[in-house]
């Protein structure tokens, strides 16, 4: 179940009697399914990421049968760091994942429970599911229950002051709707982020084949794609290595979307199959992102998951 964006700044519903409020965590959405002593972790796209986060197997020692929805976060100085998490999201080798877990441990911030002790809870109201979740005992650092707050304005102010991602409002009577983007969950982000499709890249001037900037697009309202600019800031050596691996075999002779001549000059064009996330300062009147900065590769998202935020 996915949240819809608030229609205006700080525009989450404020009726605390019918809505509850949680922190919007800056991490990777996963479903954690514990059954028969095993943990299966799946991303939003259904990809099995169990091997990526071996420290979360502690869930199996805490509960015999539970299906949790939550966000995997990597904490840096007490705050979630997407950059730190991005270094782990692509790791699939068991030994490399164990080393990464020792270096940058993660925590599952659980905010919903879909099954408990063999009982399916998806058709139960959010309030009932939440009460079941609150009765579970978190297993040390491996997972925590994301707190719930009764007042939207206070949480919006606190999360903004602490540099947290934002707030999600949830209707107390809502059932869980797997895979759907529902108006029963409403999100507000303090910082502007956008998942984008990579449609090409430009080299660093005078540096041969080194990547200097990514050419980005998002789905257009009437279908197809719309070019939203190029992002070079944040494209370090580690990110370039991941991107080159992801884009191998995806080159095409012409761009899949109309790219301005100034941006297209010297570019290598690619199929729109790789998703990245950028931080930006808004949009120009022409719809381009202002000063986009690459945050990382989003291999937990499929191209069909990308939409203009």
Catalytic residues: 24
Nearest-angstrom CA–CA distance, 302 and 200: 17
Q: What is the DSSP string of the chain?
A: -EEEEPSSTT-S---TTTEEEEEE-SSEEEEEEEETTEEEEEETT--B-GGG-GGGGGHHHH-SSEEEEEEEE-EETTEE-HHHHHHHHT--SHHHHHHHHHHS--EEEEEEEEEETTEE-TTS-HHHHHHHHHTSPP-TTSEEEPPEES-HHHHHHHHHHHT--EEEEEETTPPP-TT-EEEEEEEEESS-EEEEEEEEEEEPTTSTT-EEEEEEEEE-TTSSEEEEEEE-BT--HHHHHHHHHHHTT-EESS-SS---HHHHTTPEEE-S--EEEEE-S-B-TTSPBSS-EEEEE-TTS-GGG----
Helix axes 82-89, 94-103, angle to 10 degrees: 160
């Amino acid at each position: 179940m996915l949240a819809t964006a608030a229609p205006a700044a700080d525009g989450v519903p404020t009726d605390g009697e019918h809505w509850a409020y949680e922190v919007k965590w800056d991490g990777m959405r996963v479903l954690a399914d514990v059954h028969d002593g095993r943990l299966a972790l799946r991303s939003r796209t259904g990809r099995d990421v169990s091997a990526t986060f071996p420290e979360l197997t502690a869930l199996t020692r805490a509960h015999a049968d539970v299906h949790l929805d939550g966000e995997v976060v990597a904490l840096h100085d007490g705050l979630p760091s997407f950059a730190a998490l991005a270094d782990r999201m692509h790791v699939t080798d068991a030994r490399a994942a164990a080393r990464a877990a020792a270096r940058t441990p993660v925590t599952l911030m659980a905010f919903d429970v879909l099954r408990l002790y063999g009982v399916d809870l998806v058709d139960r109201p959010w309030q009932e599911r939440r009460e079941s979740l609150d009765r579970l005992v978190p297993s040390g650092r491996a997972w925590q229950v994301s707190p719930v707050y009764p007042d939207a304005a206070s949480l919006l102010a606190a999360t903004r002051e602490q540099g947290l991602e934002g707030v999600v409002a949830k209707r107390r009577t809502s059932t869980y709707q797997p895979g759907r983007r529902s108006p029963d969950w409403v999100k507000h982000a303090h910082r502007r982020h956008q998942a984008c499709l990579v449609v090409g890249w430009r080299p660093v001037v005078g540096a041969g084949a080194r990547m200097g900037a990514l050419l980005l697009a998002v789905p257009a309202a009437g279908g197809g794609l719309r070019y939203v600019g190029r992002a070079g800031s944040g494209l370090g050596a580690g990110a370039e290595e991941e991107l080159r691996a992801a884009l191998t075999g995806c080159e095409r002779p012409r761009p899949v979307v109309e790219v301005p001549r100034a941006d297209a000059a010297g570019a290598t064009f690619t199929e729109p199959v790789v998703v990245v996330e950028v931080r930006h300062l808004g949009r120009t009147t022409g719809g381009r992102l202002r000063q986009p900065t690459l945050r990382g590769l989003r291999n937990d998202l499929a191209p069909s998951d990308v939409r203009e935020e």
